[in-house]
Amino acid sequence: MGERVLELRGISKFFPGIRALERVDFDLEEGEIHALVGENGAGKSTLIKIITGVHQPDEGEIFWRGQRVTFPNPTVASRYQIAAVYQQPASFPHLTVTENIFLSHPFVHPLSRRLRWREMHKRAQELLESLGAEIDPLAPVGALSAAQQQIVEIAKALSIHARILIMDEPTAALTRREAEELYRIMMKLKSQGTSIIFISHRFEDIYEVADRVTVLRDGRKVGTWMVRDIAEQDLIRAMVGREITQLFPKAQVTPGKELLRVEGLSRVGYFSNVSFTLHAGEILGMSGLVGSGRTEVAHALFGIAPADRGKIFVEGKEVTIRSPMDAIALGIGYLPEDRLQQGLFLPMSITDNITIAVLDELTRHGWLCPEREYEVATKMLELLQIKAPTIFHPVSSLSGGNQQKVVVARLLAAKLRILILDEPTHGVDVGAKAAIHQIMSDLAREGFGILMISSEMPEILGMSDRILVMCEGRVSGILTREEATQEKLMEMAVNIDRGRVRKAQEVVGTGHGI
């Protein structure tokens, strides 16, 4: 690490009725990866928007290499070699890699004013090769994987000679292998003198690549530490302001009656011969690598993309599920992985998002009864401890963890007993994770059956009574809580021995070990 390239002193930012930041100090050294962490709503996004010129501070000063500066807009910030890479790449999927990289600063011939495509393609190729990426500059960005799209965003930043790179949750949508490739690229950039501000909810990211970590809480700076000098539990305590004694508060519950049974469920091209059972009071974890068929099975059970063959039984009775309405009528609810695109109506109020599935029950003679709607929404707000100014605020104004709770509240308001939770803590901070896990444990204790899909190994191991592992569209085995280890789950997730898969499938199908 070298000289200080960026320093913020006493930064404050106020919005109507909200103190987003209050006298925050932050600095970044040359060739450093500096993690910025905190719960949703702690002020991280506001701080990076000030650094990139999106917002102006109400108080405080910014110094770039010792020189006091102002960033009135993102264009000025980019002149100081500052660029940001976000969790959701700001790319145009139908344009090529080259077009996305040079969209804001194309190579133009000074006389003819024509675009110099050959030079742009060559430069794009050079940038990608410098990152060790084998990506065709002529390929449409929409055809790339999430990890490759992140690399294109980094190449775009390097194309403007960025020396300060802000990475906001870049690993959230990546597999472990893809995340490790991103780590490699980050370490290479660091060795070349690039400074990185790294925002992540995943502690493994922070301890893998970061040099220092700064914690924000409620708009204030709690402290800055060398990563090697602070234990994970101390980092959690700094973020949430309290001891989280149980990140995985799984209660021991004796499984009750069978709520759901699946036999030989198949959908051509996605999954085949999937069989399992789910009991009242049970959390059945579904593990496997991205592309193993987990979400596709969930879509079939909820009627989004029905299975081609196989049988589904609800409380012992064979049923047909051809649409989400069929599933809801049978008491099956689904929390999708992408809450923003598939789970929430962002412009609508918290109340509307909670009650939209039970409007029939809240009407009288065809007219919606506001008093009953208010009663249901308020009850759910209190039950799940959703933090919101009022239930009439738009759901888009909530933090990620509270938005997730709103989706759960909708499922509970609809009195559904079988809950399919796809990545229930995806993109939420550690405090919200603990709260959501506690809700899941409480629901299991009350007799709900929960099918939990998760890519996070600690969550699968910590919250599941049994764990079903998917591999290439098939069930490679089911383990009890006591049997499961990280090594066993990974071995089963990458198992391509068809003989072993068939044997495991036969065991599952007969009900042994279930």
Assigned token pair, 499: 């003989």
* Same domain as 474, residue 376: no
Assigned token pair, 48: 């990076």
CATH, residue 40: 3.40.50.300
- Residue 90's pLDDT band (cuts 50, 70, 90): confident
Helix pair 400-413, 370-383: axis angle to 10 deg = 120
Provide the pLDDT for residue 51.
Answer: 96
d(CA 157, CA 86) in angstroms, rounded, equals 11
* Same domain as 370, residue 298: no
Instruction: Looking at 349-399, list the stretches that DSSP marks H as alpha helix, in order from N- to C-terminal side.
Output: 350-355, 370-383
Assigned token pair, 60: 């405080």
Residue 191 lies in a domain: yes
Provide the pLDDT for residue 297.
Answer: 96
Question: Which value, to the nearest 10 degrees, does the dihedral of the CA atoms of residues 419, 425, 428, 433 take?
Answer: 100
Whole-model pTM? 0.68
Residue 253 lies in a domain: no
Q: How many residues does the chain have?
A: 514
Residue 336 lies in a domain: no
Task: Report how many domains make up the chain.
Answer: 3
Around Cβ 4, how many Cβ atoms within 10 Å? 16
d(CA 148, CA 163) in angstroms, rounded, equals 21
* Same domain as 228, residue 104: yes
Provide the pLDDT for residue 247.
Answer: 77
Of the three residues 391, 415, 439, the one that is the final residue of a domain is 415
* Same domain as 236, residue 184: yes
Of the three residues 212, 240, 268, the one that is the final residue of a domain is 240
- Give strand pairing partners of 266: 309
* pLDDT at 165 > cutoff 90: yes
Token pair 């962002």: residue: 346
* Same domain as 220, residue 75: yes
Provide the pLDDT for residue 1.
Answer: 53
* Same domain as 25, residue 97: yes
* Same domain as 72, residue 41: yes
* Same domain as 301, residue 215: no
Residue 322 lies in a domain: yes
* Same domain as 134, residue 86: yes
Q: Which residue has the higher pLDDT, 337 or 450?
A: 450
Q: Which residue has the higher pLDDT, 6 or 113?
A: 6
* Same domain as 92, residue 151: yes
Provide the pLDDT for residue 510.
Answer: 35
What is the extent of the structural domain holding 52?
4-240
Provide the pLDDT for residue 67.
Answer: 95
d(CA 275, CA 261) in angstroms, rounded, equals 7
Provide the pLDDT for residue 270.
Answer: 93
Residue 339 lies in a domain: no
Provide the pLDDT for residue 513.
Answer: 30
d(CA 326, CA 122) in angstroms, rounded, equals 54
- Residue 260's pLDDT band (cuts 50, 70, 90): very high
Residue 32 lies in a domain: yes
Helix pair 117-130, 146-159: axis angle to 10 deg = 110
* Same domain as 486, residue 406: no
Average pLDDT, the chain: 88
Residue 437 lies in a domain: yes
Asked whether the CA dihedral 450, 456, 462, 467 is positive or negative, the reply is positive
* Same domain as 87, residue 26: yes
Residue 245 lies in a domain: no
CB 183 within 8 A of CB 191: no
Helix (H) or strand (E) holding 67: strand 67-69
Quote the DSSP letter at residue 111. Answer: T
